[in-house]
Copies of this chain bind each other. A is one copy, B any other.
Amino acid sequence: MSGWLAVAGLGPGSAGLVTPEVEAALAEATDVIGYGPYVARIEPREGLSLHPSDNRVELERASLALTLAASGRKVVVVSSGDPGVFAMAAAVFEAWEGMPEWRELDIRVLPGITAMLAASARAGAPLGHDFCAINLSDNLKPWSLIERRLRLAAEADFAMAFYNPRSKARPGGFARVLEILREACGPERPILFARAVSTPEEALKVVTLGAARPEMADMRTMVIVGSSRTRLIERARGPVLYTPRWAE
């Protein structure tokens, strides 16, 4: 069995944030599989088959990748950001676990720059102390679990990074998140909306929870809320948001 499967992170958008390890896997690949907009980032070349697919078909995509790798192809599944953070790696292992004949397939996960760390870098260092990462989509978990985690994260005084804050299918969910956070963290706590970081459409906005509005986020926005210690410093070239390394 000479085929292999690499689940690779393309980072948030800029070519300057794609690792050499991922570039090397793409250069050797016979097949690239992923959500359409991510596959569109791959340069076509002779001998490389591109397999773009729709959103929300992660398990079908994973099964195709595993089937091709088992047949001897060299397959890269591409994710935005890091494949291990709310992305394709878990879906590949879910599909893989169900099929014992794939157990000894050569599967590697190649890390990438995940959205929260790209957004954090652009804004300063809001995740410089203990923090948590929560996917706000309730496609695959009950809404009550999201609310419970928000309250416990606030009680633990974590900085919080939120993926998938808002979609057309759940217009009210993010408004409720902001309400819970205002109640648990107070209206003065800073919140960062970082849209399309490292792409030409990049836009950053820092406000307080009291001034935050649901429409400040869409599905291309990473949202980061500071801990009680996070500092916001204004300057001409845009505010700096950072969380000191120490706590009392």
Query: A residues touching B (Cβ–Cβ < 8 Å)?
Result: 11, 14-21, 24, 58, 82-87, 89-94, 96-97, 103-104, 106, 108-114, 117-118, 120-122, 124-135, 140-142, 145, 148-149, 152-153, 155-158, 231, 233, 235-237, 240, 242-248
Given contacts A20-B20, A94-B245, 10 further A-B contacts (CB under 8 A): A16-B19, A17-B19, A82-B121, A85-B117, A86-B128, A89-B124, A92-B125, A103-B235, A111-B117, A140-B246
With a CB–CB cut-off of 8 A, which chain B residues contact A244?
A: 90, 94
Q: Most chain-B CB neighbours within 10 Å: which of A24, A93, A142?
A: A93
Flag if B149 contacts A84 (CB, 8 Å): no
Could you list some 22 contacts between A and B, CB below 8 A? A16-B21, A16-B24, A17-B19, A84-B117, A84-B121, A84-B127, A89-B128, A91-B245, A94-B242, A104-B235, A109-B120, A111-B113, A130-B134, A131-B132, A131-B133, A132-B133, A132-B158, A140-B246, A140-B247, A141-B246, A142-B248, A153-B156
In the bound complex, what is the Cα–Cα distance between A17 and B19 (angstroms)? 5
With the chains together, A113 CA to B111 CA distance in Å?
7
Contact partners of A130 in chain B: CB under 8 A = 132-135, 149
- A157 to B235 CA separation, bound complex (whole angstroms): 39
Q: Identify A125's interface contact among B84, B128, B135, B155, CB under 8 A.
A: B84
Residue of B nearest to A123 (CB): B109
In the bound complex, CA of A18 to CA of B20 (Å)? 7
A149 to chain B, nearest CB (A): 5
Q: Among B58, B122, B240, B246, which residue has its beta carbon within 8 angstroms of that of A93?
A: B240
Complex-state Cα separation, A73 to B19, whole angstroms: 27
Cβ contact within 8 Å between B129 and A132: no
Q: Knowing A20-B16, A242-B93 touch, does A121 contact B125 (C-beta < 8 A)?
A: no
Nearest CB in chain B to that of A124: its residue: B93
Q: How far is the CA of A85 from the CA of B112 in the complex (A)?
A: 15
Q: How far is the CA of A82 from the CA of B112 in the complex (A)?
A: 11
A140 to B244: give the CA distance in the assembly, Å: 10
Q: How far is the CB of A123 from chain B (nearest CB, A)?
A: 9
**Chain B residues with CB under 8 A of A84:** 117, 120-121, 125-128
Report whether A148 and B141 are in contact in the complex, using a CB–CB cutoff of 8 Å. no
Of chain B, the residue at the smallest CB distance from A19 is: B17
B133 touches A17 (CB 8 A): no
